[in-house]
Structure 1
C-alpha cells in the first residue's frame, strides 16, 4: 500500500525565515515554500503561533486501493482532493495522509554547495510515542511498514522501533522512564543524510549554522552531528557513513 514517504510539512509563524533557514541547511533552493532532497520533500507553511513538524504524507500507487485496504484494517480515512487523510484518532494524533504518484519528483536544485557537501536524503523521521506496542500495531500492522529493528537500551533510556519505508526509516521512540500510557504520539525530529559529513559540517559552519563537531553514531561506521539552528525548532541531526540498521 505505502511505497515511500512523499513529503513532510513544517508549519512556522516565521515562514519566510524558515524557508531561508532550510535552504541553507539542505544546500538547495526552495520553490514556493517547497524543497526536495533525493527521497523526500519538505513543505513549509505559515502558521500563526507555532514552529513544528505538522504532518507526513506517504506515497501510494493507488489511492482507491489504499482506501479499500485501510477500510478493511479499520483505519478511517477521507478523500480531500488528491489526498487520502487518515483519522488522527487512528494515528494517535500524528497527522498522516496518502498521496498518489507514479514516480518521485526530482530534487531541488543546489545552491552554491557541491552535491557532496549538501543534504541528499532523509535518513529517518522520528515519532515519539508513550505506547510502543500501539505504534507497532499502527505502523507495522495497519500501514504495513516493515519493522526492521526493535531495541531497548537503558543507556539511551529508550526503546527504538525502526520501520523501513522506501529508502528511509520511520523511527518510533519511547522514553522508558515515563512508562506506557494512552497519551498522543508526536511527530518530532529529522535525521538528514550527506555524502561527506566533514564537508557538510564545514559548509554549514561557514554559513553561520550552529552545529556540533562530527562524532561516532550509534551505528558502527557512521558519524553524526547535531544542528542547533536553522531548523525551525525541529530536533535535527545529520548523518554520514554506513547506512541504516
Structure 2
C-alpha cells in the first residue's frame, strides 16, 4: 500500500479584519503565543503552531494579490474560516492526481512569508477549485523548502491551562455523499466512522487526517441539498478542561460549564464568543466525567 495522497492537516486559515485584535484574542483563547507574525503579498498573518497542525490568522494589509483575495472573502463572507490546508509529500504529484480525479488544482507555486524581524520562510501550495470540493477553499501544502518543521508555539502561563492540539474541524454539509466522494475517494482521507443519530438529528462523517479529524455534519431533518459546505467551528484538545475553563471564565470569556461529552471518557465545554470563528469546543480525552447534580 503506497503513501496516502494527504499526509495530515497542515493548517486551518482564518480571515479577519484586524490581525492584532484577532491574535490577541486567539492567544488568550488558546493560552499560546504565536510562533510567527509577518506577511507578504498584501496580507499580514500570525501562525500558531501546534503538534498536529497550525492556525493561520490572516488579514489584508496594503496592496497585493493575496491581500485582495482575503479582502474579497471578508466582503462576501465576513470573518471566520477561509481555507483548510492539507499536507502532501509531493505537491506536483498530488495536484496531477487530483486533476485526473476531476478536481481542478492550480499549478503549485512558491509562497513566501516575511517575519517582522526580516526572517523569511518558503513553502509551496496548490489551490483546489471550490466548485469541485463542495464549496470549501482547500489548499495542498508541500513541505517547508528547508525541510525543517516549524517550532511549536509556547504556552503563556500554566501549560495545563493551554490548548494542546486541534481535535477536529467541523464542516456543515447539505450533501454527505458528496463529502464522501470528495474527501474520501478523491482526497483519500480515511473515513473512520459514518454515524446517524436520530436523537441528535444529525449524520456525522469522521475523516482521519494525520493527527486530527475532519468531521462533516448533515441534518437528518432536511433533504439532501446542493448548497456549499460551510464551517461549523473548531474543537480543541486540552489536558485539563477544568483548568482551561477556569482560566477563560476568569478572563471574561463566555463559556459553558464543563460537562460529560458524547464520547465516553471525555469532558467538554464550549467557548461561545469572543474571537473570529467561534463558537469552539474544548475537549479533554480520557477523563472521568464531572459529577452532576
TM-score range (shorter-chain normalised) is over 0.9
Q: After TM superposition, list the pairs within 5 Å mapping 1:12-27 onto structure 2.
A: 12-27=16-31
8 Å Cα contact 2:12/2:55 also seen in 1: yes
Q: Please name the residue that 1:133 is paired with.
A: 177
Q: TM-score if structure 1 supplies the norm length?
A: 0.94
Deviation at 1:200, TM superposition (A): 1.1
Gaps of 5+ in 1: none
Return the match for 2:154 from 109, 117, 120: 109
Q: TM-score if structure 2 supplies the norm length?
A: 0.79
Give the match's secondary structure for 2:263: coil
8 Å Cα contact 2:51/2:152 also seen in 1: yes
Find out whether 1:58 has 2:103 as its counterpart: no
8 Å Cα contact 2:6/2:88 also seen in 1: yes
Return the match for 2:236 from 180, 192, 195: 192
Find out whether 1:220 has 2:233 as its counterpart: no
- Judged with a 3 Å threshold, the aligned counterparts in structure 2 of structure 1 residues 104 and 218 are, in CA distance, closer, same or farther, namely farther
8 Å Cα contact 2:161/2:240 also seen in 1: yes
Q: After TM superposition, list the pairs within 5 Å mapping 1:91-240 onto structure 2.
A: 91-101=133-143, 104-112=149-157, 114-240=158-284
Find out whether 1:39 has 2:43 as its counterpart: no
TM-superposition CA deviations, 1:169-189 (whole Å, max 9, x none): 000000111210111111231
Mapped to 2, the partners of 1:119 and 1:103 lie a distance apart of 23
Mapped to 1, the partners of 2:87 and 2:29 lie a distance apart of 25
**Regions of 4+ moved over 4 Å:** none
Gaps of 5+ in 2: 38-45, 60-70, 111-123, 288-293
Mapped to 2, the partners of 1:233 and 1:59 lie a distance apart of 22
Q: Number of matched residues?
A: 242
Mapped to 2, the partners of 1:38 and 1:25 lie a distance apart of 17
Which structure has the higher relative contact order (CA within 8 Å, separation 6+)?
1
Mapped to 2, the partners of 1:242 and 1:104 lie a distance apart of 29
RMSD of aligned residue pairs (Cα, Å): 1.6
Deviation at 1:72, TM superposition (A): 2.2
Give the match's secondary structure for 1:105: coil
Q: Please name the residue that 1:86 is paired with.
A: 128
- Judged with a 3 Å threshold, the aligned counterparts in structure 2 of structure 1 residues 18 and 240 are, in CA distance, closer, same or farther, namely same
Rg: which structure is higher? 2
